[in-house]
Amino acid sequence: MEPISVCWTPGYLAQFLERRKAPIKSLLLDQRICAGVGNIYSDEALFLTRVKPLRPAGSLSNNEIIRLAQSLRQVLNKAIQFLGTTMKDERYHLPDGRSGRFQRHLMVFNREGMPCRVCGTKIKRIKIGNRSSYYCPRCQK
């Protein structure tokens, strides 16, 4: 189910996270849980939620789950508003050839070594599974 769906609630998300030891980032990439959430949008939502991508999913508090559900919805809606994300590799374009513009609003994704836009700490990149994940070591716990 998509996080922008009316039926996708913090309670819906909580049932998938309960007692799970896998990193929260890995579960957000599971399309059975969060359809339409990929690497970029999961990093951005975790930043807004202030949760480190390696945190065990089952360790999130009820308040963090509520914030995560809201952050996922917010990030996806903003990405839709700005017509998606076109990175330097130019893989994503609109059908008419135009680029998306959400990349201009990224807080952590693909910003390794750059200062966090909130606190100034350098953004870090880690590998989770076979994917890169970007986060602020100061803002995200």
Whats the size of the chain, residue-wise?
Answer: 141
User: What is the DSSP code (8-state) at residue 5?
Assistant: S
Q: Please determine, for residue 89, whether its predicted confidence score (pLDDT) is greater than 80.
A: no
Q: Is residue 141 part of a domain?
A: no
For the segment 86-114, the average pLDDT, to the nearest whole number, is 86
Total of domains in the chain: 1
Q: Is residue 124 part of a domain?
A: no
Which pLDDT score is estimated for 124? 98
Q: Please determine, for residue 113, whether its predicted confidence score (pLDDT) is greater than 90.
A: yes
Residue identified by tokens 């999961």 is 42
Q: Please determine, for residue 42, whether its predicted confidence score (pLDDT) is greater than 80.
A: yes
Q: Is residue 80 part of a domain?
A: yes
Q: Is residue 26 part of a domain?
A: yes
What's the token pair of residue 17? 């996270």
Domain extent, residue 75, equals: 10-104
Which pLDDT score is estimated for 86? 82
Domain containing 34 — which CATH number?
1.10.8.50
Q: Is residue 19 part of a domain?
A: yes
For the segment 31-36, the average pLDDT, to the nearest whole number, is 90
Q: Is residue 114 part of a domain?
A: no
Going by C-alpha positions, the residue among 49, 42, 48 that lies closest to residue 65 is 49
DSSP lists the bridge partners of residue 133 as: 126
**Do 79 and 85 touch, CB atoms closer than 8 A?**
yes
Q: Is residue 20 part of a domain?
A: yes
Q: What is the pTM of this model?
A: 0.92
Q: Is residue 122 part of a domain?
A: no
